[in-house]
Amino acid sequence: MSSPVFEPRPYGTAVSVANYYTGWVEDQESKGFVKLEVLLPALTDILLKDRWKPAKKEKLQQAFKFFDIRGTGRLSPTYMRKLLMDHGDKLSEEEFESFLSTMVNPFRKKIEYDACYEQLVVPPDLDVLQNKNKIMFEIKDEE
């Protein structure tokens, strides 16, 4: 079976990837389960073909500042909902609620984007793409 073509959103979500690949990797005899030997090629396809690039902190800063017209360092959840659900690659309600649950300051009821970067940016030691050569070497070594 050949791998399906998948082009995630620039900000890609694990949820959208999981939803897309579920039918392809799910065990047809045991619904809800995935066999490792079927899952690994799908994950390899996503991660090692540079399709799952994490956002850089500088790029996120630019994006937030562009939409922060008043320069307050904060965006309202209502405004962010409109941006993420009505324009471009639209988030689903579930994806947006997941985003909001971790990004909104509970006291100010705003998204303070300077405090969000650590949650939105992949640390270098977890960035699969930066460690691509090492991973490829380990995979070949196991064969």
pLDDT tens-digit series, residues 67-114? 999 999 999 999 999 988 888 778 888 888 888 888 888 888 999 988
> Could you please report the per-residue DSSP string of 92-142?
PHHHHHHHHHHHEETTTTEEEHHHHHHHHSPPGGG-TTTTHHHHHHHHHHH
2-16, 22-36, 72-86, 126-140: least confident range: 2-16
Closest by alpha carbon to 122, among 28, 52, 48, 40? 52
Total-model pTM: 0.50
Gap between the Cα atoms of 130 and 143, Å rounded: 22
Instruction: List, in sequence order, every residue forming a beta bridge with 75; answer none if it has no partner.
Output: 111
**75: enclosing H helix or E strand:** strand 74-75
Segment 31-36 long-range contacts (CB within 8 Å, at least 24 positions apart): none
pLDDT tens-digit series, residues 17-74? 555 555 555 566 776 676 777 777 777 776 666 555 667 788 888 988 999 999 999 9
The crossing angle, in degrees rounded to 10, of helices 14-25 and 93-103 is: 140
What is the strand order of the sheet 74-75 is part of? 74-75, 110-112, 104-105
**36: enclosing H helix or E strand:** helix 36-48
